[in-house]
Chains A and B, each alone.
Chain A
Amino acid sequence: MKSQIRGAFVWAVLCSIVLASCAPSAPATPQTVVETQIIVQTQQVEVLVTAEAPPVSGEVNVLLIGKPDEDSIDPVTGKNIPGIQQLETMFETAYPSIDMQITNIPWGSGATGYGPKTESMIQAQEACIYLMPGAFQYGRRGYLENLDPWIANDPTFEDVWPGDYLEQWRGWGPGNPDNQWALPYSGGNRVIHYDAVLFEQWGVEPLSQHPTLDEIEEKAKAMTGINPVTGEQNYGYWYQGKYINWQFQAIAHALGATWGEVNDDGTWTVNWDTPEYLQALEWLVMMSQYAPPGALAAEAMPEGFLTDQNVVAIIPEGETGYYLTPFVNDPKLNERFRTTYNLQGPDGKGGLFIADPVAMAASCPNKEAAWEVMKWLTMSPESQKYNFDSGGNLPVIDGAAEAIPELAALVDADAILNQNAFAEIRYPWASSQPRFSLQAAIEAAIAGTMTPKQALEQAQKETEDWLAQQVATPTP
């Protein structure tokens, strides 16, 4: 009897395996809601019945980073900070048939940063949707779903993002040089701040909304020295030593430099040693004399930023993480610390593009539901508002600022909300050796251990050596 039961069990398992493997796989293109008209004719009455395809359903695992685990209260402002479960509830109210399961990890740093955790999760196929700052890298490696077919086949999809936001996440992948790897989710920017009080004390005209290199140089020079009103040592300019590369790119692009291009086989051509980059580096080295000593070791804003102790007049590369929440909480601050657009090149673009996107894993077993989750996270005003309320992230969709009155009320709301739409197209090498080679070269030039020319030559050589070792990824 026992052996019969065992035999039946084995057969049942085998049959289910065979049936599962024979079952048609999930379609590669999205299933949109289909309306079918069925005309039922009775003896005398014609009845029109509208039937809808069943809504997509199932569980979708989502990896998010840096959201608050629980509801809490800001200890400074007393404002409520919504926990991650509020996002889940909002989504499931809108999509009751989909069970969104969020794994929330901290941004972290170094060995405990989000990078290793994301890598583990995507390799273990633990989630379908990822908040993924490094989406390009994963796309290149074949881990992500190309969203182009989903966008093309979904009539409800709209490009709700301003400027080049959507195009920013197009990139090379195995077998296809141009893929839409992700959708913009949460925003930020890199703007130029200036201290209006210091400008007034020095009798210098405020920065224009689109400052040029000449304007910055002239005004920084004028405001470096002993402040005529306070008697303190003031500095005209600032640079973030540890991340100087991004500031340098903005300067170089304003002088007409372009880093290079992505080749058809996915490799890159990178040009650091060009007259434009040299001019930019010479300019930056010259400007470093107007910055506080030791700025080379800095990784953020100058000491005293957003306080009355500030002594730096022009502060480039202001990031939302530093200024947005303080500006919203204390409107007087953004009357003193004003904001302009970043530098712009001849093409009207300039500054590092700052936005974290959401991507779909190629291994996702429930792509239809995942696509709905993805659209809601990236396109819905509720999700965008949650991003702002929970972490001070800028919304990325058009018109989201209207839904958040605090943002619309900022003195320089125009530059703060729109800078990202004018940012340069993302640099694919942003996490690779060319970045670190250039970074080391800029630092050496500022520290005076190399001339700008020597530094760029070294960066070019290191980059070319590295590029020469990169193999073109064959089409699978």
Chain B
Amino acid sequence: MVRKLRKSLIWYVFVAPTFILFGLFVAYPTLETFRLSFFQEVATRQEFVGALHYLRLLGNQVFLAALVNTAFLGILFLLIIIPLGFVMASLLNNLRVWPNLFKAIYFLPQITSTVAVALVFSYVFQPNWGLVNGLLRQLGVEPLPLWLAEPRYVLTGSRAAVTILAVWVALGYYMLIFQAGLQAVPAELYDAAVVDGAGPLQTWWLITLPSMRPTFVFLYITGTIEAMSRFSDLWMLGGPAGTPARSLQTIVMYIYQTAFESNDFNLASSAAVILFVVVLLLTMINFRSFLQREFSSQSGG
């Protein structure tokens, strides 16, 4: 046993730095967040208050509205990015001239600072002299949309503007993952389809789409998690209050505002734990719903 352990010791040494960093910067803060959520700061002491903060949050309209708005923005984003990413990846997959150049161009927003992107989009959507309204003015559109100054649920409102931003940023990444999936579909399936006389649409519908299922599920699940933790771009565009009229407020913005603007770290920790539970539940439901077949085929076979 000792000999076995000594033999594998070197491998533990290799993983130790990662493990220590994970423990220090992920596991410890996570556990500390759970602990803080059950306490209340009284002067400089922390006093145990049980589930008080959770009860406060569940009756807090601002928190619940932020949760709903986060979900709404997330659903809107996924409804656009997944089909669009797939269509664009399919088109790019058939491109024979400089495909890598286009991949790099589409991927660029992904590696651009969120703050810079948000700043640029605040100019793009500026109602009075922004790029989009400038073009619309040239086309004779009247009255011009207000974009980031419009809190209503309309196609030219603040939610639409930030969704366009998010799609623009994420499109390259989604296309890349879809492309990897497309290139993994066995060529024999397409050859067999041609032999069977299937048209391009039938091939796409009956071979490509089903073969891409794991990729769709992966992007859907990771996209859900990302959408629920959206913060930086909305903070830049909406400011601390999620302007206009909280239409850009998300749950992470609420957490940040509570912790670092209002200095209520205990309440913010409780909100973070609730977000953790919501994301965990969503992920579990998604896994069970979409990967049920994979689970059952693995256990059966």
B235 at the interface (CB under 8 A from A): yes
Task: List residues of B (184-240) whose CB comes within 8 Å of A's CBs.
Answer: 231-232, 235-240
Does the CB pair A294–B262 fall under 8 Å?
no
**Assuming the A-B contacts A110-B231, A111-B256, A462-B62, are A294 and B241 also in contact, with contact meaning beta carbons closer than 8 angstroms in the complex?**
no
Contact of B245 among A138, A431, A444 (CB under 8 A): A444
CB distance from B47 to the nearest CB of A (A): 10
Tell me the complex Cα distance, A141–B46, Å: 11
Q: Evaluate contact between B150 and A142: CB separation under 8 angstroms.
A: no
Contact A473-B263, Cβ < 8 Å, known A295-B149, A436-B241, A447-B149: no
**Contact call A174/B43, Cβ cutoff below 8 A:** yes
In chain B, residues 37-64, which have Cβ atoms closer than 8 Å to a Cβ of chain A? 40-45, 56, 59-62
Interface residues of A in 101-140 (CB under 8 A from B): 109-111, 113, 115-116, 119, 134, 137-138
| In the complex, A241 has a CB within 8 A of chain B | yes
CA distance A469 to B237 in the complex (A): 30
Contact check, B43 vs A433: say whether CB atoms are below 8 A apart: no
Chain B residue numbers with a CB within 8 Å of A439 are 241, 243
Contacts of A243 in B (CB 8 A): 239
CB closest residue in chain B, given A469: B56
CA distance A179 to B167 in the complex (A): 51
**Bound form: Cα–Cα A303–B240 in Å:** 22
- B148 contacts which chain A residues (CB < 8 A)? 294, 297
* Cβ B257 vs Cβ A294 within 8 A: no
**CB atoms of A137 and B244 under 8 A apart:** no
Given A174-B43, A433-B62: A296 and B56 within 8 A (CB)? Answer: no
Contact A431 B263 (CB under 8 A): yes
- With a cutoff of 8 Å between Cβ atoms, the chain B residues found around residue A70 in the complex are none
> Is A293 positioned at the interface, with any CB of B under 8 Å from its CB?
yes
Task: State which of B122-130, B168-176, B278-286, B289-297 sits at the interface with chain A.
Answer: B122-130
Query: Closest residue of chain A to B62, judged by CB?
Result: A462
Which of chain B's residues have a CB closer than 8 A to the CB of A432?
261-262
How far, in whole Å, are A141 and B239 apart by their CA atoms in the complex?
Answer: 26
Contact check, A303 vs B129: say whether CB atoms are below 8 A apart: yes
Number of contact residues on A: which range applies? 35 or more
Q: Is the CB of A294 within 8 A of B127?
A: yes
Output the least CB separation between B259 and chain A (Å): 8
Number of A-B contacts (CB under 8 A): 123
Contact, CB under 8 Å: A241 / B243:
yes
* Residue interface bits A285-316, CB-to-B below 8 A is 1, else 0: 00000001111110100010000000000000
Nearest neighbor of B130 in chain A, beta-carbon distance: A294
Q: Residue A447 contacts which of B62, B235, B238, B244 (CB distance < 8 angstroms)?
A: B244
A contact face: mostly helix, strand, loop, or mixed? helix
Identify which of residues 81-114 in chain A touch chain B, using a CB-to-CB cut-off of 8 Å: 109-111, 113
Interface flag for A153 (CB, 8 Å)? no
Contact of B146 among A137, A141, A143, A293 (CB under 8 A): A293
Known: A241-B243, A303-B129. A111 touches B231 (CB 8 A): yes
A28 at interface by CB-CB < 8 Å: no
A235: nearest chain-B partner, CB-CB: B128
Chain A residues with Cβ under 8 A from B151's Cβ? 443-444, 447, 449
Take A297-B244, A443-B243, A447-B151 as given contacts and tell me if A462 and B61 are in contact as well, using a CB distance cutoff of 8 Å. Answer: yes
Q: In the complex, A109 Cα to B244 Cα: how many Å? A: 19
Q: Chain B residues with Cβ under 8 A from A303's Cβ?
A: 126, 128-129
Q: Knowing A119-B263, A431-B263, A473-B42 are in contact, say whether A296-B129 is a contact too (CB < 8 A).
A: no
Chain B window 251-275, contacts with chain A (Cβ cutoff 8 Å), 1 for yes, 0 for no: 0000011001111000000000000
* A340 interfacial contact with B, CB 8 Å: no
Contacts of A134 in B (CB 8 A): 263
Task: Answer whether residue B35 sits at the interface, using C-beta atoms and an 8 A cutoff.
Answer: no
A294 engages B126 (CB within 8 Å): yes
Which of B43, B45, B147, B242 counts the most chain A CB atoms within 10 A? B43
B50 to chain A, nearest CB (A): 14
CA distance A362 to B263 in the complex (A): 18
Give the Cβ gap from B116 to chain A, nearest Cβ, in Å. Answer: 12
Instruction: Please give, as numbers and ranges, the residues of chain B lying within 8 Å of A294 by CB-CB distance.
Output: 126-128, 146-149
Distance between Cα atoms of A137 and B245 in the complex (Å): 26
Q: Using a CB-CB cutoff of 8 Å, which residues 3-51 of chain B contact chain A? A: 40-45
CB-CB < 8 A to A469: which residues of B? 56
Q: Does A465 contact B (CB under 8 A)?
A: yes
Most buried by B among A141, A293, A466, A471: A293
CB B289 to nearest CB in A, in angstroms, measures 33
A465 to B260: give the CA distance in the assembly, Å: 21
- A residues 454-475 in Cβ contact with B at 8 Å: 462, 465-466, 469, 471, 473-474
Report yes or no: A476 in contact with B235, Cβ–Cβ below 8 A.
no
Which chain B positions have C-beta within 8 A of A65? none
A443 and B241 form a contact (CB under 8 A): yes
A177 to B260 alpha-carbon distance, docked (Å): 24
Some 28 contacts from A to B, beta carbons below 8 A apart, are A109-B236, A110-B232, A110-B236, A110-B256, A111-B256, A115-B260, A116-B260, A137-B263, A141-B263, A242-B240, A294-B126, A294-B149, A297-B127, A297-B244, A303-B126, A303-B128, A432-B261, A436-B62, A436-B257, A437-B62, A439-B241, A440-B246, A447-B152, A462-B61, A462-B62, A465-B60, A473-B42, A476-B43
The 4 closest A-B pairs by CB, nearest first: A294-B127, A142-B43, A242-B239, A297-B148
Chain B residues in the interface with A (C-beta under 8 A): 40-45, 56, 59-62, 115, 122, 126-129, 144, 146-152, 158, 231-232, 235-246, 256-257, 260-263
A contact set with B: CB distance below 8 Å: 109-111, 113, 115-116, 119, 134, 137-138, 141-143, 174, 241-243, 292-297, 299, 303, 362, 431-433, 436-437, 439-440, 443-444, 447, 449, 462, 465-466, 469, 471, 473-474, 476
